[in-house]
Amino acid sequence: MAAAEARPGGRRRCRRLEGEAARAVLGAADTLLFDCDGVLWRGEAALGGAAAALGRLAAAGKRLCYVTNNSSRTRQAYGEKLRRLGFPPATPRHVFGSAYCAARFLRQALPPGAAAYVLGGPALAAELREAGVPHLEPGPAALPGPAPADWARAPLDPAVRAVLVGFDEHFSYAKLCQALRYLLRGPDCLLVATNRDHRLPLEGGAAIPGTGCLVKAVETAAEREAFIVGKPNRYMFDCVASEFDIDPARTIMVGDRLDTDILMGNTCGLTTLLTLTGVTTLEELEGLWKSQKTSHFSWVTWK
């Protein structure tokens, strides 16, 4: 599963991991953080060998956690999916999805009683409920009349102090309009988003737009930058570290994307392990290394 590894701390190195080297790297770790889509599975199919590999790591006493930018499932639902696809049993506590992390962030950041306006799906709402963050229920929304003047007069909830943007298949101009109106309340209304992934790859080269597209629309309207909960922001790692006793030097971040998984791992001083099973390909990795485009992965060397 693992193809390349890098270690932080000035030693820029990237190598193919196999046999003895793989055993040494894994042996030195006590915690592994796994991205999910493109690393453990694609859609409803586990990637070949992944479940068995994680089974061996669990049997060897490693702590396995799951960190995913996908905001369309709860911690609970991820636990069930892991079990369904044959991965070692995982409690919801070991799962750090961006829906959960966003709810956690808002619980800490909002004053008591303040509510969130949510562009997102049922999982995001469920995690907010679980965290005790008041919120408007997501779902389809219609414009409240035929003319712009009507749109700007639709009722606003006085308790709203944050706009939270996650993956929302019901995203619409009507919702964008309400989001802007809340954000025009000024800096007292936070703008928070689960992630910036701008495209979700599907089987056969197909793709659908990711949350990042919706975030851009809201940011453009509001003339503000969102606080991003997901990778590559370190907030997601901080969530793991606040729930478990984590030693970064003995932790490995396993992911399929340089610009989210590996960048976050590098930022947080973890060993990083790029699987070549998802977004970033070997050709891309070599091309980027040759072109010295190192802004996102200055830790990469290829030998």
Q: Which stretch binds a copy of itself (CB under 8 A): 4-12, 53-61, 219-227, 278-286?
A: 219-227
The answer to the question of residue 264 lying near a copy of itself (CB under 8 A) is no
Task: Tell whether residue 175 is among the known ligand binding residues.
Answer: no
Binding residue count for a copy of itself, defined by CB under 8 A? 38
> Residue 143 in contact with residue 150, Cβ under 8 Å?
yes
* Stretch 153-172 residues interacting with a copy of itself (CB under 8 A): 168-172
The answer to the question of residue 223 lying near a copy of itself (CB under 8 A) is yes
Q: Which is nearer to a copy of itself, 34 or 171 (CB)?
A: 171
Task: Tell whether residue 231 is among the known ligand binding residues.
Answer: yes
> Residue 8 in contact with residue 269, Cβ under 8 Å?
yes
Residue 60 CB neighbour total at 10 angstroms = 11
> Helix 173-183 to helix 211-222 angle, to the nearest 10 degrees?
50
> Residue 36 in contact with residue 66, Cβ under 8 Å?
yes
| Cα 155 to the center of its chain, rounded Å | 32
73 token code pair: 């499932």
87 token code pair: 């991965």
Q: Which is nearer to a copy of itself, 176 or 240 (CB)?
A: 176
Residue type, 238: D
Q: Which is nearer to a copy of itself, 151 or 289 (CB)?
A: 151
Q: Which of 106, 217, 252, 285 binds a copy of itself (CB under 8 A)?
A: 217
Over 207-242, what HEC string results?
EEECHHHHHHHHHHHHCCCCEECCCCCCHHHHHHHH
Q: Which of 27, 48, 148, 287 binds a copy of itself (CB under 8 A)?
A: 148
Residue 52 CB neighbour total at 10 angstroms = 13
Q: Which is nearer to a copy of itself, 35 or 168 (CB)?
A: 168
Q: Which of 17, 200, 258, 279 binds a copy of itself (CB under 8 A)?
A: 200
Least separation in angstroms between CB 153 and a copy of itself: 8
d(CA 259, CA 168): 22
**Residues tagged active-site:** 35, 37
List interacting residues with a copy of itself (CB under 8 A): 43, 143, 148-149, 151-152, 168-174, 176-177, 180-181, 184, 198-200, 202-203, 206-210, 212-214, 216-221, 223
